Amino acid sequence: GTTCAELSADPAHCGACGRGCPAGATCVSGVCSCPAGQVNCGAACANLSSDPAHCGACGNGCDPGVGSCVSCVCGCTLGLTVCGGCNQCRDTMSDPDHCGGCGNGCNDREYCLDGACTCRPGLADCGVFPGCVDLTTNDNHCGGCGNPCTGMGGIGDECAGGTCVWGCPGGT
């Protein structure tokens, strides 16, 4: 069937048949018009200074669920920090990719605890490369930092269970 529409005032047929206005908009003289303080962002009218889906510009979305938009700038709620692209909110107190600050990543032997990269359980920070070491197996830090299993002249000196195991001189 055919439907009669007032193209100059019908928000479902604004200016042409089938051309709908975004939610919240009205049709005035065949043109979609958003309420004062809002702009047409395609499917919706948005307040660019406070809409987290259109923050500062149409389509500029803040982090879903924890992002907020204040004065056209994405921010984070719940004590989170905006890090990286796409306005992602991160907890710099526990995020291993942003530990203590955006972009400060922990290595694979560490985790983020209270904003500081910390050795994983069972590892100790001996302050030198490779950083966190296993004191039960590391030949340079056996049983404690700076306690090497070398210099006794043996072949096969090694750390086992946190104790240096000395090889025989000359390998015999």
Taking only the tens place, the pLDDT of each residue in 4-59 is 778 888 888 988 888 889 888 999 998 999 999 999 998 889 999 999 999 999 99
DSSP state of 137: T
Residue 99 Cα to chain centre, angstroms: 10
Rounded Cα gap, residues 60 and 62, in angstroms: 7
| Predicted local distance difference test score (pLDDT) of residue 7 | 82
Tell me if 25 sits within 8 A of 45, measured CB to CB: yes
Rounded Cα gap, residues 165 and 156, in angstroms: 8
Tell me if 54 sits within 8 A of 61, measured CB to CB: yes
Q: Inform me whether the pLDDT recorded for 73 exceeds 80.
A: yes
- Hey, what amino acid is at 11? P
With cut-offs at 50, 70 and 90, classify the pLDDT of residue 123: very high
Say how many CA atoms lie within 13 Å of 97 toward its Cβ.
7
Rounded Cα gap, residues 91 and 77, in angstroms: 10
Rounded Cα gap, residues 51 and 87, in angstroms: 14
For 15, residues 6+ apart whose C-beta sits below 8 A from its C-beta are 7, 8, 27, 30, 31, 32
Percent of the chain's residues with pLDDT above 90 = 41
pTM of the model: 0.61
As a residue count, the chain comes to: 172
Tell me if residue 119 falls in helix, strand or coil. Answer: strand
